[in-house]
Structure 1
């Protein structure tokens, strides 16, 4: 399969698998404790963490290229933000408004705090509200887009650091701060108060504690840019080690999910981030393929952002659970959930997301 210019099949595979892990894991709730539901939850890695690392890798390479070109003007910084926000915000605000209209029509009374979803401040240091729950990860991404370029531009333009040292130092600092914040949360809270639920809300889904996952991807971009021989020469070894770390992370998750310890609270996120990072040298060099079903991975990768925004609140919690579909058997509900997720994502992508991208390119 010969891809469009600029697409890398290996990264499309990783992105497609990440969104499938997310959707299948959430959809497995429809299957309950059945064999199929248990199997899906067992094999589904943390797709959001994979997304974070991949995003950091791709955006990190853009930032490094821009800094190395010597263009650290305010115009170049605003151009970066414009391109990122044209890519992410139109879809997000459209889906957010659709969900708000639905709840308004259904007579929702409590609208306090909804404004936070327009400023991505709903989970900066506090647990994400129950409303539009999947938005937590986009909040992490948007703060990365906003803050990290500012730090990089200042370090290069104001403090005269080279791009090479600037990217490495800032990435290391953010990783250290996020890891420290998780460590402090774990050691300040009463052990009896820690559960999988509080771990999920207070650590896994807050901006401050998760920015490091994206920065591991930036470290990957730094390695790919400045240590090219190391990056390419050892890609098979790195890939094998990455798979071992990802499998180990999943095994450890099931060991400690009911007894949250320091590993789960602090270091588990680093493990899956490093494991994903180690996959990138090989996958980023996998440009073309003739494998069967290759088109499915590319197609799913292209639709992944729309799928992420639509699948949970709109499809699972509204279309499936708030309609007569919920009366069908669990297997049929699951199939309808997947079909609606793909179908609506195709419509959102072609009728709106794609057009917004073209509008961005016109500017």
Structure 2
């Protein structure tokens, strides 16, 4: 979930839409919510927001790698510089929020560093980039990964690990293969993923945790964006229709086609966002851009804030208030305020400032070389 290096505001707005979809799904079962919200999950699905992020990342990583190669050539230095930027772009915020997860978990469980046998593997898999492997093994095989308030906060990191793994695949492909062969490799990965089994409960199959389709299609889009530009008047309808299909996709397609269709639609939405602004205009558009720019930090912090608020209200109010409409409104208001503040600080400190520092250091390094 990387910052768009050319600052395409529509792509930032797409990130805003994607993270709002993710949050809508993640509040379920963690705050006492009205019946209409709970009922909505019988008719819609919103977990596809992750695939929008993956399509954007695939496009941007392909663009970044090819830009670096055109400037500095295919060499070890160029490859290492790419990974140095990725590490400094993503890891500081992740490390900080992992520490916050430990603190909030301790508060929620009323003991410092609770259940090390469960917490330690969660931390290791998160920081070492194999959280999707760890989680898939647990969920597919129905193995408990710890209490909900502990494992929940680390649950979001599965997709970050998947992105790291896809960065490795795409970077090795682009640096070792020709442009045409690397695209063939991306297509092969997409086609191979279609052979993986799936069912109605998507996250009980490995394809949920290792879905490369949207990312690879985003990368392929970069190579062909000049040839497949969507007519300007059709771009907004494409985004709207695709998002509507996302919501009702389990009822429109058989289980085996759900993730492939979501991957294809994520790439279509990405294509629609490239060109003159259609999503980032007006008050709503600017709000989506603001959220999208902070989407990585929002993604990292929102579960911790949900559990912190839920536990705080639960132990400091009556059960009747906690489960009342007033309690829900209070918790949602606190969530919006705290998430906005926390993600903004995280974005400014761990993302923007560190990016500037890394750029300065790399510029000095290139000058000395």
**What RMSD over aligned residues (CA atoms) do the two structures have, in Å?**
2.9
Residues 30-109 of structure 1: pairs in structure 2 closer than 5 A: 30-39=31-40, 42=44, 44=46, 46-68=48-70, 71-103=73-105, 105-109=111-115
Of residues 310, 322, 332 in structure 1, which corresponds to 2:311? 322
**1:283 matches 2:273:** yes
Aligned residues: 326
Shift of 1:219: 1.6
For 2:313 and 2:126, locate their aligned partners in 1 and report how far apart those are by CA, in whole Å.
30
For structure 1, the residue ranges without an aligned partner over 5 or more in a row are 156-160, 187-193, 257-262
Instruction: Tell me what 1:332 maps to.
Output: 330
2:229 alignment partner, SS class: helix
Structure 1 residues 203 and 55: alpha-carbon distance in aligned structure 2, compared to 1, 3 A threshold: same
Cα separation, 1, equivalents of 2:207 and 2:336:
25
Listed one character per residue, the Cα deviations across residues 45-78 of structure 1 (whole Å, up to 9, x for unaligned) are 6211111111111212222333455711011111
Task: Give the 5 Å matches for 1:200-211.
Answer: 200-203=203-206, 205-206=208-209, 209-211=210-212
Please say if residues 132 and 157 of structure 2, whose CA atoms lie closer than 8 Å, have aligned partners that are also in contact: no
SS in 2 for 1:6: coil
In the other structure, the counterpart of 1:173 is 188
Distance 2:252 2:274 in 1: 32
Separation in 1 of the partners of 2:193 and 2:71? 30
Indicate whether 1:252 and 2:249 are aligned. yes
CA displacement 1:160-196 (0-9 Å, x = unmatched):
x3x2x0331121122123222x23xx4xxxxxxx662
Sort the Cα spacing of 1:89 and 1:342 in 2 relative to 1 into closer, same or farther, 3 A.
same
- In structure 2, runs of 5+ residues without a counterpart are 140-144, 362-369
TM-score, normalised to structure 2, is 0.78
- 1:117 aligns to what? 126
TM-score (norm 1): 0.79
- The structure-2 alpha-carbon separation of the partners of 1:64 and 1:38, relative to structure 1 and needing over 3 Å to count, comes to farther
- CA contact 1:306–1:345 (8 Å) conserved in 2: yes
What CA distance in whole angstroms lies between the structure 2 residues aligned with 1:339 and 1:37?
Answer: 23
Structure 1 residue 204: Cα displacement: 5.5
Tell me the distance in 2 between the aligned counterparts of 1:252 and 1:321: 31
Q: 1:254/1:341 Cα in 2 relative to 1: closer, same or farther (>3 Å)? A: farther
Q: Which moved more, 1:85-94 or 1:127-136?
A: 127-136
Contact 1:7 1:287 in 2 (8 A): no
